[in-house]
Amino acid sequence: MLSAQRDPILVPEVSQDDVQVQQGFTGTELLLFGAILDPTGARAGRDYDIVVVLKGPTEPIALREKARVGGIWVNADSTAFQSAPSFFAVASSRPIGEIVDERTAAIYELGLDYLQLSPTGAIDPEEQARFTAGLVDLRSRQGLYKQVTDGVQISEQVLYQARISLPSNVQTGTYTAETFAITRGRVIASAVAEVEVRKVGFERFVEVFSERQSLLYGLLAVLMSVGMGWVAGRLFALI
């Protein structure tokens, strides 16, 4: 009697699925953990690697390249992408190049080198690669894009855990944490968990007010700026 061996399943969990951003928020650390089991519920029983990809909400973005002309920095070439993740982090049990080939890494976006961005118009592939690298470098320095090659710990080929920090400047919205189990260069299982990042308290009030009453919000912002400037001027006049 012949029986086909079925691929195992992933059971992912997140330490907190609701991150609240309020005044004084300095960032937080997410613990992404879980287990890999065969369809009967027992331990999978074979060697595998784990890669976790955490993505923030996507947004359109325009990039401008600076060039030095006559000793002055001016805007040169520019391009725009239809959607770019506001946050992108990859944690893996080993370096990605030791786990999968480049084709597989590109399909599943397993790493900053394989981030897929869609330009809004026709663009030369080399130019697109240059702007993509520029975006990755910029957001890496802002703490919004990161990759940790030894960021996943696996226990007895059953349990795994990864820690990914969210900086204070994260965008609100729904974040997706996709976990991949990989063996012999093949993705054998994947699962997705979601994390909601939202503003609360006064920050939430300001956000909602600016969205629903944009004109009034703009007028109030101008009045506040003028008022603060007037107060500052009076204070300096008294010194």
Inter-residue contact 163 to 148 (CB < 8 Å): no
Query: CB 217: neighbour CB atoms within 10 A?
Result: 14
Show the beta-strand stretches assigned E in the chain: 9-14, 18-21, 28-37, 49-55, 58-69, 72-85, 88-92, 145-148, 152-155, 159-166, 173-183, 186-199
Average pLDDT, consecutive stretches of 10 residues, N- to C-terminus, the chain (239 residues)? 61 88 86 82 67 93 73 70 92 95 95 87 77 90 93 88 92 94 91 88 48 58 62 59
* Residue 99, pLDDT score: 95
Quickly name the fold that domain 9-200 has: Immunoglobulin-like (2.60.40)
* Residue 129, pLDDT score: 83
* Residue 105, pLDDT score: 95
